[in-house]
Chains A and B, each alone.
Chain A
């Protein structure tokens, strides 16, 4: 409770202008110490690494020509938004990337910092910061090669602003990886009723169906903000084996890879004259004289 109070006092603007939802923060605070128990509340997130890490790794490898054996992501700067206890930051760090992990909940960052501290390689490659995305925009314009926002967008208050900030902080042609939950009847039944209330795969109250976003809507918002969506894949969790797999349908969970437009592509768009101007001139030309 105290850290939440300190957090709101520190910030110059009110929570209504932020992508961070204070109710959501409270939920995660209570579970801060449970992050690294592979069999605990976050078991499904631990096993999600088995598909999301290869997804990120292989998408990035296919776009680059350098390969450093043993450190495939060497030289890549990654921002892990909503990093929690660092479940995804650590594997990315082990693969050679320089990772900055941010999370608005201070207890999460403390857990993450403490966990990485025992491994000198990770301690050097990963930096954690208690922060929301907006707060780092000013000092991090076009700084990162990659942003990962995994299981985050279904918790943000203002999705469009979140995407705008991602765009500002990413280098041109940088990659954005999102994993989240679709807003469908199926996701209500399986994602909330079954997963939370019946099987306890996620702690109850973790998700609000209203905040889920469909891949179509997400794509629309991304394209509006200068991204081009490269890949969308459906994901499926098997509660009996505790493992994730890919599937054709995106009606439940899905992963998305988008690329920010390059510097040249964007200036091209502003040079083209609007079509309506030409039409008006020819209309007036006809009536003159």
Chain B
């Protein structure tokens, strides 16, 4: 596992820079007559992370006179108001991510469309009574559940606001990239060449790959990716609760087959994210709505996986804690029960983990899922991407204010070091948690039970976990 950790980090510290400046296919001859338009930054991939990257740079004061392009394969997404029903693709947005979206003016639009703040996360085990509650002491919002469409719409509006700097190409897919030679000779262009599906070509001083976990930018740059397909799929759906409630808690229960999570959308609706085996996921999608709802309620309420041995051991541990630390065991709140599922809202997608050994090369940077892919159990996915944006934008802004070449490895490596340091431990921990919780074996259950209980009883640890989640 430590070898895996080492591999995950790449060779950033000791690798000679020459290794990064790989000679790709020979860059095209410069032709003054028909030179493709030259941009300072091209962001490939217009999802939440790519769009936010372009919007943040577009609003940066030192990018006032720069030219940025955003390439998105899909159509433009903008809503003046949301439909009555909720979308089944939602994200848990941390306060840090909300701050980033605020900095480019997008958060106001999110708030005016719709979102659900939550104050508390309750996480517990199906195989024991162990439970951990995440809560911020000052009763501030821990995070926000926001539909992905809402975030996209807000970002689209903010991209419009800086249209003089940011050009968005919708329905445009990049089909090929040509990399420059590191110390270019007389006739070759020093810029990255981008070829679009419709034959248009662009040149750029810096290419940012935000094109998801199957990133074409990453593949074409020949950056090695450590990846692993989990034998799990996530089932998502929009659920209606049995009764209206102060729905401000995010619930997650670890079943042997995988974690099931209920994320609040409103006082009467919640979003389901249920990670389970491929077969079980297909079953869940195929069964009728009533059986589906029953499965969900049973997953949250049933104690069928408890073993006497573990229950007894857990109870002993709990009373030991309460002797030492009277307030150490949290009050278990009960999750809401589900009455109905939104028809047409059930969907499933396969899960995996991935980590690029390098986030940057000469004139290239990867952000979001293109750089790292994580299991949804930690609710972190898009927040890691937003964290990448905050860090990269900071370094690019400083570079622009210093008159530096934006594609220079010098500041790109600083971004890589900072983010790898942050991401690797979180990705590894999520992966370990996922594996630890995928079992009913008593010793491991006991381990995680005591771990969960101990973490809950010790304030500094609990706060630390909360802060990590918040990044």
Asked if A138 lies at the interface with its beta carbon under 8 angstroms from chain B, I say: no
Q: Mark B391-405, 1 if CB is under 8 A from A, else 0.
A: 000000000111111
Q: Is the CB of A49 within 8 A of B61?
A: no
Q: Is the CB of B402 within 8 A of A70?
A: no
Interface-located stretch among B62-70, B149-157, B325-333: B62-70
Q: Is the CB of A69 within 8 A of B189?
A: no
Q: Mark B110-121, 1 if CB is under 8 A from A, else 0.
A: 000000000000
21 A-B pairs within 8 Å (CB atoms) are namely A36-B183, A37-B183, A38-B408, A38-B410, A39-B18, A40-B183, A49-B403, A49-B404, A53-B403, A57-B402, A69-B61, A69-B62, A70-B66, A71-B65, A90-B405, A91-B402, A93-B403, A94-B404, A118-B189, A118-B190, A118-B191
With contacts A38-B410, A114-B186, A119-B38 taken as known, whether A69 is within 8 angstroms of B64 at the C-beta atoms is yes
- Interchain nearest-CB distance for A200 vs B (Å): 16
- Interchain nearest-CB distance for A109 vs B (Å): 15
Q: Is the CB of B403 within 8 A of A70?
A: no
- Interchain nearest-CB distance for B186 vs A (Å): 6
- Complex formed: what's the CA distance from A53 to B404 in Å? 9
Asked if A20 lies at the interface with its beta carbon under 8 angstroms from chain B, I say: no
Asked if A208 lies at the interface with its beta carbon under 8 angstroms from chain B, I say: no
With contacts A39-B17, A54-B402, A92-B403 taken as known, whether A70 is within 8 angstroms of B65 at the C-beta atoms is yes
- Complex formed: what's the CA distance from A71 to B61 in Å? 10
Q: Mark A182-223, 1 if CB is under 8 A from B, else 0.
A: 000000000000000000000000000000000000000000
Give the 6 A-B CB pairs with smallest separation, nearest first. A70-B64, A91-B403, A70-B65, A94-B403, A69-B64, A95-B403
11 additional A-B residue pairs with CB within 8 Å, beyond A50-B402, A70-B66, A90-B403? A36-B183, A37-B183, A39-B17, A47-B410, A57-B402, A57-B403, A69-B62, A91-B404, A92-B403, A114-B186, A118-B30
Asked if A226 lies at the interface with its beta carbon under 8 angstroms from chain B, I say: no
Chain A residues near B64 (CB, 8 Å)? 68-71
- Complex formed: what's the CA distance from A71 to B401 in Å? 9
Asked if A120 lies at the interface with its beta carbon under 8 angstroms from chain B, I say: yes
Q: Interface residues of B, CB < 8 Å — how many? A: 24
- Interchain nearest-CB distance for A49 vs B (Å): 7
Report which residue of B38, B63, B403 has the largest number of chain A beta carbons within 10 angstroms of its beta carbon: B403
B38, B190, B402: which contacts A49 (Cβ < 8 A)?
B402
B-facing residues in A147-184 (Cβ within 8 Å): none
In the complex, the chain A residue whose C-beta lies closest to that of B32 is A117
In the complex, the chain B residue whose C-beta lies closest to that of A119 is B38
Chain B residues near A90 (CB, 8 Å)? 403, 405
In the complex, the chain B residue whose C-beta lies closest to that of A34 is B183
In the complex, the chain A residue whose C-beta lies closest to that of B403 is A91
- Complex formed: what's the CA distance from A54 to B190 in Å? 25
B17, B63, B408: which contacts A70 (Cβ < 8 A)?
B63
Chain A residues near B410 (CB, 8 Å)? 38, 47
B-facing residues in A71-98 (Cβ within 8 Å): 71-72, 90-95
B-facing residues in A90-139 (Cβ within 8 Å): 90-95, 114, 118-120
Chain A residues near B18 (CB, 8 Å)? 39
With contacts A69-B61, A70-B64, A71-B64 taken as known, whether A120 is within 8 angstroms of B38 at the C-beta atoms is yes
Report which residue of B18, B30, B410 has the largest number of chain A beta carbons within 10 angstroms of its beta carbon: B410
B-facing residues in A5-42 (Cβ within 8 Å): 36-40
B-facing residues in A42-75 (Cβ within 8 Å): 47, 49-50, 53-54, 57, 68-72
In the complex, the chain A residue whose C-beta lies closest to that of B17 is A39
A-facing residues in B349-367 (Cβ within 8 Å): none
Chain B residues near A68 (CB, 8 Å)? 64
Chain B residues near A91 (CB, 8 Å)? 402-404
In the complex, the chain A residue whose C-beta lies closest to that of B205 is A119
Q: Mark B366-409, 1 if CB is under 8 A from A, else 0.
A: 00000000000000000000000000000000001111110011
Chain A residues near B401 (CB, 8 Å)? 57, 72, 95
- Complex formed: what's the CA distance from A50 to B402 in Å? 7
Chain B residues near A54 (CB, 8 Å)? 402
- Complex formed: what's the CA distance from A72 to B401 in Å? 8
- Complex formed: what's the CA distance from A91 to B403 in Å? 4
Report which residue of A47, A70, A95, A119 has the largest number of chain B beta carbons within 10 angstroms of its beta carbon: A70
- Complex formed: what's the CA distance from A221 to B38 in Å? 46
- Interchain nearest-CB distance for A165 vs B (Å): 26
Chain B residues near A38 (CB, 8 Å)? 408-410
A-facing residues in B1-55 (Cβ within 8 Å): 17-18, 30, 38
- Complex formed: what's the CA distance from A49 to B401 in Å? 12
- Complex formed: what's the CA distance from A68 to B183 in Å? 33
Chain B residues near A69 (CB, 8 Å)? 61-62, 64
Q: Is the CB of A53 within 8 A of B402?
A: yes
- Interchain nearest-CB distance for A148 vs B (Å): 13
- Complex formed: what's the CA distance from A40 to B17 in Å? 11
- Interchain nearest-CB distance for A236 vs B (Å): 18
- Complex formed: what's the CA distance from A261 to B66 in Å? 37
- Complex formed: what's the CA distance from A120 to B191 in Å? 12
In the complex, the chain A residue whose C-beta lies closest to that of B61 is A69
Chain B residues near A70 (CB, 8 Å)? 61-66, 400
- Complex formed: what's the CA distance from A95 to B399 in Å? 11
Chain A residues near B403 (CB, 8 Å)? 49, 53, 57, 90-95
- Complex formed: what's the CA distance from A279 to B131 in Å? 98
- Interchain nearest-CB distance for B176 vs A (Å): 20
- Complex formed: what's the CA distance from A5 to B30 in Å? 33
- Interchain nearest-CB distance for A206 vs B (Å): 20
Report which residue of B30, B400, B401 has the largest number of chain A beta carbons within 10 angstroms of its beta carbon: B401
In the complex, the chain B residue whose C-beta lies closest to that of A39 is B17
In the complex, the chain B residue whose C-beta lies closest to that of A74 is B65
- Interchain nearest-CB distance for A74 vs B (Å): 9
- Interchain nearest-CB distance for A242 vs B (Å): 9
Q: Mark B403-420, 1 if CB is under 8 A from A, else 0.
A: 111001110000000000
Chain B residues near A94 (CB, 8 Å)? 400, 403-404
- Complex formed: what's the CA distance from A119 to B409 in Å? 18
- Interchain nearest-CB distance for B72 vs A (Å): 25
In the complex, the chain B residue whose C-beta lies closest to that of A33 is B183
In the complex, the chain B residue whose C-beta lies closest to that of A50 is B402
Report which residue of B61, B402, B408 has the largest number of chain A beta carbons within 10 angstroms of its beta carbon: B402
- Complex formed: what's the CA distance from A38 to B404 in Å? 12
In the complex, the chain B residue whose C-beta lies closest to that of A37 is B183
- Complex formed: what's the CA distance from A70 to B58 in Å? 11
- Complex formed: what's the CA distance from A214 to B406 in Å? 36
- Complex formed: what's the CA distance from A19 to B71 in Å? 53
Chain A residues near B17 (CB, 8 Å)? 39
- Complex formed: what's the CA distance from A157 to B410 in Å? 35
- Interchain nearest-CB distance for B411 vs A (Å): 10
- Complex formed: what's the CA distance from A239 to B183 in Å? 22
- Interchain nearest-CB distance for A146 vs B (Å): 14
